[in-house]
Amino acid sequence: MINIAYNPNFLLSLIVLISMLLFYLLRIIRPEVSKEEDIFFISLGLLYSCIILIHGWRLDPILFFSQVLLVIIVVCIGWENIRLRGLLVKIFEKDD
């Protein structure tokens, strides 16, 4: 049985889904910043998003809060990683 409800878990799943799609679009827009293993992390993020979307209604408030914290941490670390990759590309282009 698939039970998709428009609860906060739907919003959390949507945030992860959008961030993973933006991470994938980065491969198209700026391929010099992306790496080959990014596809693996994108696939895991999309799978996580689907799991939270379908089974998120089972989470009690403290587990949902832990998932929110986990998503915030992962998105922030991913954002920092992309920024650092961009800086490295600029540094290597400046040296050449």
Give the number of domains in the chain.
Answer: 1
Q: Is residue 2 part of a domain?
A: no
Distances, alpha carbon 80 to alpha carbons 24, 73, 76, in Å: 16, 11, 6
Model pLDDT for residues 51-67, shown as the tens digit of each residue: 998 888 888 889 999 99
Please give the share of the chain, as a percent, with pLDDT higher than 70: 98
SS (H, E, C) the chain: CCCCCCCHHHHHHHHHHHHHHHHHHHHHHCCCCCCCCHHHHHHHHHHHHHHHHHHHHHCCHHHHHHHHHHHHHHHHHHHHHHHHHHHHHHHHHHHC
As a whole number, mean pLDDT of residues 10-38 equals 91
Model pLDDT for residues 5-19, shown as the tens digit of each residue: 788 889 999 999 999
Which residue range forms the structural domain that includes residue 64? Answer: 8-95
Q: Is residue 28 part of a domain?
A: yes
